[in-house]
Amino acid sequence: MVATINTTGISAKRSMDTANVGPAGSEMRDDKSVLHLPEQFYTSGQAARSLGIPARTMRRFLAVGRVKGEKNPITGTWQIARQELVRLAVENGFVVDREPESVRVLIVHHDEKLIHWLVGVLDTTLNKGKIEHTTDPCNALIRIGNQPPDVVFISPSMPILRGGEMLTSVRGFQETKHIKVVGWSSEKDSLREFRSLGADAILETPSTSSDVLQLLGLLVPGNALPKGG
């Protein structure tokens, strides 16, 4: 996944001292611009640019544990989750733009009529969002890997590749384990098993638009609002 940083309004006037990693805030610049952090993950270089500091300084922070991240053992590339970068920024006096971001939703179900219904509900429920859907679980995993959604609705009873296998795959990678996974089915036993495997929520069919709104309000607070609301 390629992440791009919007550095509007950020002007680096002073660099951090890479030789001396002191208390939080001691190396941060004086001007505290509003930061726009639209991506879920950042490389060390991207994270450094968003704060207006040298990349080597961010790598030093990662090395000593001041910033938490995952390092690819093959490429050596660091990956920093958005919430970790937000924490560092807020602790050092920056203001992070918390304006609702576009929420990506993926629906994976074998019943196209149910997909059509949920797409219609989501289209009127999400204040800002992009909705995709597929009946092919293998295609769904490719989409998830290429551009991870924020929320994915999965039928536990998908043919070829079961919903539980999809859930295990999503939870198995750093890049996708943050995704909110919802089990969506009329089969109560399948939903219970799906929840036990680590699903964030379940939605039993038949469902109402109010059920979906309430669920999304818990999963993506501030975005599950009627359009124009």
Contact in structure between 98 and 55 (CB atoms under 8 Å):
no
Q: Is 151 helix (H, G, I), strand (E, B) or coil?
A: strand
* Phi, psi values for residue 119, rounded to 5°: -60, -45
pLDDT in tens, the chain (229 residues): 333 323 233 222 233 333 333 334 445 545 556 777 767 788 999 999 888 889 899 999 999 999 999 888 888 888 898 888 888 888 877 777 654 457 889 999 999 999 999 999 888 777 667 899 999 999 999 999 888 898 999 999 887 778 889 999 998 888 888 899 999 999 998 899 999 999 999 999 888 888 888 888 788 765 544 444 4
Instruction: Pick one of 3.40.50.300, 3.40.50.720, 3.40.50.170, 3.40.50.2300 as the CATH number of 103-219.
Output: 3.40.50.2300
Closest CA to 125 of 220, 6, 203: 220
Per domain, the residue ranges of the chain are: 1-99, 103-219
How far CA 67 is from CA of 21, 165, 206, 223, in Å, comes to: 11, 32, 45, 28
